[in-house]
Chains A and B, each alone.
Chain A
Amino acid sequence: MVVTGEQANTEPALPLSGYRALDLSGPMGVYCGKLMADMGADVIKVEPPGGDPMREIGPFVGGQPGPGRSLYWLHFNTNKRSITLDISTSEGAAVLRRLARESDVLLETEPSGYMDSLGLGYESLAADAPGLVYASITPFGQTGPYRDYKASDLVGFAMGGYMYVTGWPDTPPNKLWGSQAYHTASNRAYIAILLALYHRMMTGQGQYIDVSMQEAVAATTEHVNTTYNYTGESAVRCGFRHGGQFVATWRCKDGYASITTNTRAAWDDLRAWMDRDGMAGDLMDAQYDDHFVLRGEHSAHIEELVQAWALLHTRQEITEFGQSNHHPWGPAATAEEILGNEQLWGRGYLTAVESPDGVSMVYPGDPYRLTEFQQPVRRTAPAAGEHNAEVLGGILGLSAEEMERLSA
């Protein structure tokens, strides 16, 4: 019997309470699994015997690798359960097939064709579990000439078109901090999974989802494709000047500050302040009245003046002046400033949690607030195979001997 969310007869505690997902993903999908688990799904991380290789990704508690010490693992696997299972054996594959029948979602990031080779592809599993939503994330998708190409986060970011435009004209193209190509693929996959689950609520039908990391990145660049497709020019790197527009970040007295002159009022307030400091040069002239002037032929001249002026002021001065005049100005925060951030604590986004080993940790929260729900971190990440008995025994009714043999 499939226990699905739709049939849950109790009040759902969280949006995905009652749904079960098998998470076979690596770094490309682990955030998608987290998004499901944090919203209440029973996400079971299926790890190879000995534990998932992601357990060896840093940073580590105290800088030292070891069991339970990977903060990468602890972050991306909150609220998940863990089983160890070698799906490359026929016995392990048979267990996964049985688990799929008791699940609503399967998420995997194997190379195209690998799951089929184990008899665990969508068609095969859907024969037993027609309601299954089966999501595959690959670097380039399941079809097309690059379907077997390999990619890391960096390569996905490059091929998706975001990297060429990131960085300064005199630096190599740059990636964003962190593994944002992976997370973008995960974010997109999660949207597709939710669409499929909603469709299933209406029809009972499951389906197969093919997510391409390259496309996920390409659909996230904002201006790369629209610029080329509508002007015939490729967008270029311009650092934090955001396409040389009126949205820009500047070096200031104690770091960097973002000064967006999105309105005439913001531009007038900026140049009037520069003028009061005796640093406006000729910017008070009428020829600079239009705030779109920063895009035009005078942009280099204006940038030079604004940059020289910005060095006179601190991030706080710039922020306070801008915000008190309703302009979107703010500081470039440093990492240390985030941990003490009053807004992130004030809304309950940051939460203090104690690890099973007694380490106090601060966890970031969910990307959005659904006001019908409380969304606490309910459980830190599981140890490898921590829930073998619960899952394999409890859900599938395997005996202790069978479980022992499977996880050996």
Chain B
Amino acid sequence: MELDGDAHKNGLALRGIRVLDFTWIHAGPSATRILSDQGAEVIKVESNNALSVIGGPASATARGLGQRHNWNAGKLSISLNMKTAQGIDIAKRLAAVSDVVAENFSGRVMPSWGLDYDSIRAINPSIIMLSMSGFGRTGPWKDRVSYGQTLQAWSGFTQLTGFPDSDPSGPASAYSDAVGGMAGAQAVLLALMHRARTGRGQWLDVSQYESLSSLLETLVLDMSVNGADAVSTRTGNRAPYGGGAPHGAYRCRGEDRWVAITVFTDEEWRALVDAVGNPQWADDPRFATGDGRERNADALDALVESWTVQHTAEEVMGRLQAAGIAAGVVQTGEDLSRDPQLKERGFFRRVPDHQGEERTIESAPYKLSRTPGSVTRGAPAFAADMTYVLRELLGMSDDDVEDCAIAGAFD
């Protein structure tokens, strides 16, 4: 792509970048949504054979529809039948005019279409290819199959997350996919910078297993130095290596209402005691020092909760924040939709879908002063952009398009 300095003054860091996007479900589409928000033209290659997968064009559930819009807002959609020679040919011609090709299939798929990195590079020498897979494309586990939950289990996250005295809970959702999406976007951006400096593209081999493992902090380091026994396992809501009490979720007035409170310093402790109204229990000598509070955290938690249950979570947050203590409502989906902070910052956006219906999507969780980015529409309808892509981008004639259609290339 040509680098057009003027375009970059229009508030979009990636204007002029084209992404040929074979990704599906969650991790891949959330990576390319990050790029699309900043002006990259993302062309989703979809298929009649996968209409109802999560986030697919005909998502079976309301939640799936939400995920369709949330991770595909602003993108274009074409339908290609990769079982036909014509479908593959069109994909190759698109790869030739793209900056990035993204995919999160298992390792066999792209080579079977002649669209592995080496083949694409032969067509487009400076291409950046993002391959997102469960375990990476090398190593003894490269052909293993995974979902987000599988990776969470295999990485240790499932076993490590939860309270010590109950079954582990693991992450409630596909943290692994979200993390993979962030990693994929970062890798593409690093590669775009490298290409701008050297003119060279490259292949990005993202193992979502490694992306997730890289968030295990000191786990491996700790075991390697101190032995496996030293490692903290499930610690509920306490910090794994200590460093504060009270530190947890406390029940509040109402049905399943909770507030998170964390106190680390003596100053914060005194502020908490004051905010609670100097109850007698706070004078207990067990709680006089930080060490004492941590050692007696169970008893302290019960006493703190005896206060919080008398109040709404919002009241507790307001009162403790006014006293300079980190406290926050354990917010539900409904709470988030009404959160005055998120509202003021415009976190949720309403954008029209292809039928003009307003859809709610999340914004990027960062604000860039010069390139705020922009998302003005929801996910595309299935195959909504055939004319633009085939006629304008590839310059195909009516006859070409018709021949391909007869051959089933768009089925």
Which residues on the A side are within 8 Å of B145 (C-beta)?
322-323, 326-328
Q: Is the CB of A240 within 8 A of B170?
A: yes
Q: Is the CB of A61 within 8 A of B226?
A: yes
Partner of A338, one of B144, B204, B216: B216
Q: Is the CB of A370 within 8 A of B14?
A: no
B211 at the interface (CB under 8 A from A): yes
Which residues on the A side are within 8 Å of B209 (C-beta)?
343-344
Over the window 185-201 of chain A, the binary record of Cβ atoms lying under 8 Å from chain B Cβ atoms (1 yes, 0 no) is 00111111011111101
A275 at the interface (CB under 8 A from B): no
Of A90-98, A207-215, A388-396, the one touching chain B: A207-215
> What separation, in Å, do the CA atoms of A179 and B237 have in the docked complex?
11
B223 at the interface (CB under 8 A from A): yes
CB distance from B407 to the nearest CB of A (A): 29
> What separation, in Å, do the CA atoms of A328 and B144 have in the docked complex?
8
Of A113-121, A225-233, A297-305, A400-408, the one touching chain B: A225-233
Partner of A364, one of B171, B179, B220, B337: B220
Total A-B residue contacts, Cβ distance less than 8 Å: 534
Q: Is the CB of A168 within 8 A of B167?
A: yes
Q: Is the CB of B207 within 8 A of A171?
A: no
A336 at the interface (CB under 8 A from B): yes
Which residues on the B side are within 8 Å of A362 (C-beta)?
220-221, 223-224
Which residues on the B side are within 8 Å of A5 (C-beta)?
193, 197
CB distance from A350 to the nearest CB of B (A): 7
B364 at the interface (CB under 8 A from A): yes
Q: Is the CB of B362 within 8 A of A159?
A: no
Q: Is the CB of B324 within 8 A of A367?
A: no
The binding surface of chain A is classed by DSSP as: mixed
> What separation, in Å, do the CA atoms of A243 and B172 have in the docked complex?
7
Q: Is the CB of A74 within 8 A of B189?
A: no
Q: Is the CB of A249 within 8 A of B153?
A: yes
B293 at the interface (CB under 8 A from A): no
Q: Which residue of A lies closest to B184 (CB)?
A: A368
CB distance from A211 to the nearest CB of B (A): 5
Q: Is the CB of A207 within 8 A of B194?
A: no
Q: Is the CB of B60 within 8 A of A292?
A: yes
Partner of B190, one of A207, A322, A346, A370: A370
Chain A interface residue bracket vs B: 35 or more
Partner of B365, one of A152, A218, A349: A218
> What separation, in Å, do the CA atoms of A293 and B138 have in the docked complex?
36
Partner of A174, one of B159, B163, B345: B163
Q: A171-B163, A194-B189, A338-B156 are in contact. Are A332 and B210 (CB under 8 A)?
A: no
> What separation, in Å, do the CA atoms of A175 and B247 have in the docked complex?
11
> What separation, in Å, do the CA atoms of A142 and B38 have in the docked complex?
21
Q: Which residue of B lies closest to A230 (CB)?
A: B66
CB distance from B185 to the nearest CB of A (A): 6
Partner of B139, one of A146, A177, A346, A372: A346
Partner of B368, one of A6, A174, A195, A328: A195
> What separation, in Å, do the CA atoms of A331 and B152 have in the docked complex?
10
> What separation, in Å, do the CA atoms of A208 and B369 have in the docked complex?
5
Q: Is the CB of B347 within 8 A of A218?
A: yes
Q: Is the CB of A39 within 8 A of B190?
A: yes
Which residues on the A side are within 8 Å of B243 (C-beta)?
57-58
Of A42-50, A254-262, A280-288, the one touching chain B: A254-262
> What separation, in Å, do the CA atoms of A325 and B386 have in the docked complex?
37
Which residues on the A side are within 8 Å of B347 (C-beta)?
215, 218-219
Q: Is the CB of B236 within 8 A of A174?
A: yes
B312 at the interface (CB under 8 A from A): no
A238 at the interface (CB under 8 A from B): yes
> What separation, in Å, do the CA atoms of A178 and B264 have in the docked complex?
17
Lowest 10 A-B CB distances belong to which pairs? A228-B333, A226-B66, A215-B365, A230-B66, A362-B224, A158-B260, A58-B241, A222-B173, A194-B189, A177-B160
11 contacts between A and B (CB under 8 A): A57-B241, A58-B241, A164-B331, A164-B332, A178-B240, A196-B368, A214-B341, A225-B66, A249-B149, A333-B154, A337-B156
